[in-house]
Amino acid sequence: MTLALIVLIPFLAAPLMPLAARAGRGVCALAAGLATSLSLVLLLADAPAAFAGADHRWSAAWLPQLGLSFSFAVDGLAFFFAFLILAIGVLIVAYARFYLGPADPVGKFYAYLSLFQGSMLGIVLSDNILLLLVFWELTSLSSFLLIGYWNHLPQSRQGARMALIVTGGGGFALIAGMLLLGEIAGSYQLGDILLQGDAIKASPLYLPALVLILLGAFTKSAQFPFHFWLPHAMAAPTPVSAYLHSATMVKAGIFLLARLWPVLAGTDAWFLVVSLTGLATMAMAAWIACFKDDLKALLAFSTVSHLGLVTMLLGIGTPMAAAAGVLHVLNHATFKAALFMSVGIVDHETGTRDLRRLGGLLWLMPVTGSLALIACAAMAGVPPLNGFLSKELMLEAAAGTTYLGLPWLFPLTAVAGAALSVAYTARLAFVAFVLGPRHELPNHPHDPPVGMWAPVAVLVAAAIAVGAWPGLAEGFVAAAARATTGGALTELHLALWHGFTPALAMSLTATVGGLALFWQYGPIEKARAALPRPEAKRMFDAAFDALVRTAERAIAATHTQVLHHHASVAVIAIAAAAGAWFLLAPHAPGDRAALPATVPAVAAWLVLAVVAAALVLRHRDRLQAVILTSVVGLIVSLTFLQFSAPDLALTQVSVEVVTTILMLLALNLLPKETPAETGAGWRGFDAAVAIAVGLGAGGLAYALMTREVATISAYHVAQSKPAGGGTNVVNVILVDFRGFDTFGEIIVLGIAALAIYALLDSALRGAAARRLAAMRPGEESRDAHPLLLVVATRVLLPLAITAGAYIFVRGHNMPGGGFIAGLVVAIALIMQYMASGYAWAAARARFDAHLMIGGGVLIAGLTGAGAWLFGRPFLTSTFGHLRLPLIGEVELASAAAFDLGVFLTVVGTVMLSLATISRVEERAEGPKPPPPHRAPRPRRRAEAEPARSLVPTEGG
Amino acid sequence: METLVASGIGILTAAGVYLLMRRRTFPVVIGLSLLSYAVNLFLFATGRLVVDRPPIVGASAAPVDPLPQALVLTAIVISFGMTALIVVLSLRGFLESGSDRVDMSSPEDDAAGVDPSFAEERR
């Protein structure tokens, strides 16, 4: 459990950061620091287990069907990376407290940082590769937020977007690769996969899996040719760069290569691809870094180069090289984080990071300068600093590597890379800190507060300690290296002095060569400037723009914004596919005995045919179309009644009433006639399409109805009474067997009603409101609220509500239920709006429709959740019988409470939809000059209340 | 009977599709309503046509398949929600733009498509 907590604490802390920031910047930083330290303490508590190589893991099921589990494990490698993430994380938190300016929102910064930290910890501690993928994507997303933290700067946004596209794209490949890997191993648990190295390497899927996984790792770790995103990510605040590019983000790819080393490394494919990619990246990036004048850009390319170095070591495939790679991860994290922070201090104090303007800073800011110089020495591999240890091991590994029969390729390129590394480090160290002081700096620099340089000092101390006393880190690195190599590494002995070895000679050559390059920097720079250089960002932007243009062209060509085109294409495509299938497949008439046609049925069919024809031919008269549509609805409900579906008939007929009212209300505001716009040609085309579809639908229905098919319904009928406690099977299915569907459906209904409210509420302002005000009512009855209708609806209201209650209560056993009862009650209420006007009815409405929708969904949801209290799944129903005096035995089912929720939602939905339209209507009818035959009235409200005397009410 | 119901479904589908392809919002809404009827009837028909055997336990020896009925019941109510939303969308669109055309057409078309009755009202 503590393993999961290590990962979860940063995620839990993230949302608290903006809150903590309200109490002050220091409090927020302190909170972030405490969270990080807490994770670190928990991690350290696991150290003995990790070093002993014990099987320390924790797991909880997440989606067991998919093989996805929430499981974490810690071994030497995971501990190594998690320690770096958290230890450097604490330093970054402290540093950022002093780095961020007064205008920077600290809460947002620490929230993003915590998210990112949690994601990184998730990657290194996951024991399930699907879970690892989730965290992998989370690092892409959270680093996007961090890189784009200064989102007012265009280069921040572009850098963040580029990083997201490159690493996110690699993430896609990685997902595919990991799925293949899990497929080969037969498990997604990392522990299981790591045991199956031989089976995986022998599998025919090994190569595709390897390529895809490497794509993911190389994009994340900025390996050539995907290195270009990293320098642009430098638009981030310096603490972010220091964190992402030393210990975390870019090391995720390295971690993955190390993690999967036992199962992927050792083959020719691995060696040929990984080692060469690393070598090329190391040399190329070091070359570019030499010529960067922006300190952060220089460090960025240096980071790429060092990542290449580690990749190359892992690619060589020998246990010793892999151990050297692990050691260099530690060393690089310490000196590179220290250097990034130093550069941040320089930028902070001088206002520039340009090498052409900086100089002699050592004398202006002695503490920062000294620390930076030591870190530089470590980066260049000067003994007795940690960089020297790993450089020696790297050169030794390169010296022993023969690539495709070329024994000189690796040693020579490695020496060149090391020399270039010395050269750019010398440039950084000497030009910025040691040589010629400049005086045209924007600010007068001095050492920053101790909180800003102390984290640098801690890292520099670590670099010195590891270098001078390699034994200190030996156990830590050896445990990680043993886990990396799957135990193949038997012994690791780190020492500064290995005697006169070839590696020592190569190291000396590289140092001398690098200093010579620095000496001759001017001429070399001129020569290089004359060479053509591919600009990665320009190529990326061009590719990006081309993609956007292609997409726009494709959209312009296919999306005509004409419904007719789209509907035709969709309908014709479906009809053609279904028709082709029908013609190609063998078919025979069905064998189910048909029911004999009756005279009423034939009559209803004839009415339907005539009405449908009239609708098609005369639909332009809209009022008539509404009336004809309601006739169709009536025939449909009669059909339901005829074929043993009383519930459906009741529902259909009540929905019909509501729909017709709705259409009429809307039509009052819409044009009353559809203009004739389409020519005979188009009409003929549409008719042909429609007839084809109609024939298909009718034929399909006929084919279905004339065949018997085995269904699952026998279960529902048999269990309705014993399990659901009701005899109306349809209602029991709705509120019990398939209650979750119904729950979703009432939510959809409620959303539709709220959308209607939102659409029309805002129509009372702006252009729509002006149009409404300009409307004149069309031909309408002179008496807007006929007395007869007013009286009838008010008398009917209590009756209708009683009927609704009756339908509701009996619904579980007889036709009825929440849906139908809700519709009946809603109709009765709506009638009040129709008869007496919106203002009159709205003033008397006791229940807010919004409240009814929300309450209904809530009641249904709580009823469902109630089952949890008894340890049963969501929506498990129960029922019992209660004996009441006078009434007799009453059945109480929890499903009835669910049905009440359905009832309330339906009433609320109908009321809100129709009442909102009525309200808009009322606005359209607004204050107008009274008809000539009536005496002018003082207030409009009185006009809306013609029958007020009938019902005595309070107020005016 | 089966022939009558099947052809009824076919007629409603055809009329619905034809109206769906009109150029103004109101016929499209009516077309969608007709299509909803057709689809609901079709779903209902998957339970086969049975007379006088409602899905009530004890009311008949072999009740009709209740599952399609339950599905159609919610479908009817959802169809109402959908129709209401589309009607209101078209209403708002008309109030906002002064035209009830379905298509997102060019400004010239819009100018030509403004409903004459509305233009009259404005005067």
Q: Which two tokens stand for residue A597?
A: 């046609």
Q: How far apart are CA A708 and CA A916, in angstroms?
A: 47
Model pLDDT, residue A566: 86
- Please compute the mean of the pLDDT values over residues A908-921 and round it to a whole number: 88
Classify A63 as helix, strand or coil. Answer: strand
Query: Cα angle at A119 between A114 and A121, to 5 degrees?
Result: 95
* CB spacing of B2 vs A721 below 8 angstroms: no
Long-range Cβ contacts of A876-883 (<8 Å, 24+ apart)? A877/A724, A877/A725, A877/A735, A877/A736, A877/A739, A879/A724, A879/A725
Q: Look at residue A146 and tell me whether its pLDDT is greater than 70.
A: yes
* CB spacing of A616 vs B85 below 8 angstroms: no
> Hey, what amino acid is at A649?
A
Rounded to a whole number, what is the distance in Å from the CA of A837 to chain B's nearest CA?
20
Model pLDDT, residue A920: 84
Chain B residue nearest residue A615, CA to CA: B15
All residues of chain A having their beta carbon less than 8 Å from the beta carbon of residue B81 are 748-749, 752-753, 909
* CB spacing of B84 vs A717 below 8 angstroms: no
Q: How far apart are CA B90 and CA A553, in angstroms?
A: 29
Q: How far apart are CA A127 and CA A4, in angstroms?
A: 11
- Please compute the mean of the pLDDT values over residues A728-750 and round it to a whole number: 90
All residues of chain B having their beta carbon less than 8 Å from the beta carbon of residue A711 are 65, 67
Q: Look at residue A391 and tell me whether its pLDDT is greater than 70.
A: yes
Whole-angstrom Cα Rg for chain A? 38
Classify A444 as helix, strand or coil. Answer: coil
Picking from A85, A102, A82, A81, the residue whose alpha carbon sits closest to that of residue A93 is A85
For A572, A721, B4, B21, B113, the CA distances from A569, given in Å and listed in that order, are 5, 48, 29, 11, 24
Q: What is the DSSP letter of B10?
A: H
Give the model confidence (pLDDT) of A247-289 as tens digits. Answer: 888 999 999 999 999 999 989 999 999 999 999 999 999 999 9
The percentage of residues in chain A with a pLDDT greater than 90, rounded to a whole number, is 48
Q: Look at residue A931 and tell me whether its pLDDT is greater than 60.
A: no
**A774 vs A882 pLDDT, higher one:** A774
Q: How many domains does chain B have?
A: 1
Candidates A694, A708, A730; nearest CB to B70: A730
Q: How far apart are CA A770 and CA A773, in angstroms?
A: 5
Contact status of B112 with chain A (Cβ, < 8 Å): no
Model pLDDT, residue A285: 93
Picking from A297, A277, A289, the residue whose alpha carbon sits closest to that of residue A230 is A297
Q: How confident is the model at residue A692 (pLDDT cuts 50, 70, 90)?
A: very high
Domain extent for B95: 2-122
Rounded to a whole number, what is the distance in Å from the CA of A869 to chain B's nearest CA?
28
Mutation to test the A interface, candidates B86, B91, B110, most A Cβ within 10 Å? B91
Candidates B14, B78, B103; nearest CB to A694: B14
CB A735, CB A877: distance < 8 Å: yes
* CB spacing of B121 vs A695 below 8 angstroms: no
Query: What ipTM does this complex have?
Result: 0.88
Alpha helices in A712-781 (DSSP H): 713-724, 729-732, 739-761, 766-774
Q: How far apart are CA A91 and CA A341, in angstroms?
A: 10
* CB spacing of A717 vs B9 below 8 angstroms: no
- Please compute the mean of the pLDDT values over residues A131-151 and round it to a whole number: 94
Residue that has been written with the tokens 């940082």 in this structure: A113
Give the model confidence (pLDDT) of A463-490 as tens digits. Answer: 999 988 888 888 888 888 888 888 777 7
For A444, A875, B103, the CA distances from A448, given in Å and listed in that order, are 12, 62, 64
Rounded to a whole number, what is the distance in Å from the CA of A264 to chain B's nearest CA?
52
* CB spacing of A612 vs B11 below 8 angstroms: yes
Q: Which uninterrupted H or E stretch holds A338?
A: helix A319-350
State whether the Cα torsion B94-B97-B102-B108 is positive or negative: positive
Give the model confidence (pLDDT) of B94-117 as tens digits. Answer: 888 888 888 765 444 445 444 443
A663-677 burial code (b ≥16 CB/10 A, e <16): bebbbbbbbbbbeee
All residues of chain B having their beta carbon less than 8 Å from the beta carbon of residue A699 are 6, 10
Give the count of beta carbons closer than 10 Å to the beta carbon of residue A596. 8
Q: Look at residue A867 and tell me whether its pLDDT is greater than 90.
A: no
Q: Look at residue A520 and tell me whether its pLDDT is greater than 90.
A: no
Q: How confident is the model at residue A438 (pLDDT cuts 50, 70, 90)?
A: low
Which residues, other chains included, contact A130 with Cβ-Cβ below 8 Å and sequence gap of 6+? Answer: A66, A67, A68, A178, A182, A188
Mutation to test the B interface, candidates A621, A640, A643, most B Cβ within 10 Å? A643
Model pLDDT, residue A836: 84
Rounded to a whole number, what is the distance in Å from the CA of A48 to chain B's nearest CA?
60
Tell me the β-bridge partners of A883: A889
Alpha helices in A46-105 (DSSP H): 47-52, 76-99
For A194, A202, A206, A797, A876, the CA distances from A187, given in Å and listed in that order, are 10, 17, 15, 65, 34
Contact status of B106 with chain A (Cβ, < 8 Å): no
Average pLDDT, chain A: 87
Q: How far apart are CA A131 and CA A175, in angstroms?
A: 11
Model pLDDT, residue A521: 85
CB B99, CB B108: distance < 8 Å: no
CB A464, CB A374: distance < 8 Å: yes
B74-95 burial code (b ≥16 CB/10 A, e <16): bbbbbbbbbbbbbbbebbbbbb
Q: Helix count (H) and strand count (E) of chain A?
A: 43, 4
Give the model confidence (pLDDT) of A609-665 as tens digits. Answer: 999 999 999 999 999 999 999 999 999 999 999 999 999 999 999 999 999 999 998
Query: Cα angle at A766 between A764 and A768, to 5 degrees?
Result: 65
Alpha helices in A762-846 (DSSP H): 766-774, 787-810, 818-836, 838-844
Rounded to a whole number, what is the distance in Å from the CA of B108 to chain A's nearest CA?
15
Phi-psi label, residue A834: left if phi above 0, alpha if psi -120 to 50, beta otherwise? alpha
* CB spacing of A639 vs B8 below 8 angstroms: yes
Tell me the β-bridge partners of A403: A406
* CB spacing of A564 vs B44 below 8 angstroms: no
Classify A126 as helix, strand or coil. Answer: strand
Contact status of B61 with chain A (Cβ, < 8 Å): no
Picking from A394, A371, A374, A372, the residue whose alpha carbon sits closest to that of residue A382 is A374
Give the count of beta carbons closer than 10 Å to the beta carbon of residue A795. 10
Q: How confident is the model at residue A946 (pLDDT cuts 50, 70, 90)?
A: very low
Candidates A597, A652, A691; nearest CB to B1: A597
CB A590, CB A707: distance < 8 Å: yes
Model pLDDT, residue A894: 79
Q: What is the CATH number of the domain that holds B76?
A: 1.10.287
Prior bond to A952 cis, omega within 30?
Answer: no
Model pLDDT, residue A133: 95
Classify A924 as helix, strand or coil. Answer: helix
- Please compute the mean of the pLDDT values over residues B43-58 and round it to a whole number: 88
Residue that has been written with the tokens 């009650």 in this structure: A825
Chain A residue nearest residue B86, CA to CA: A756
pTM to 2 decimals? Answer: 0.71
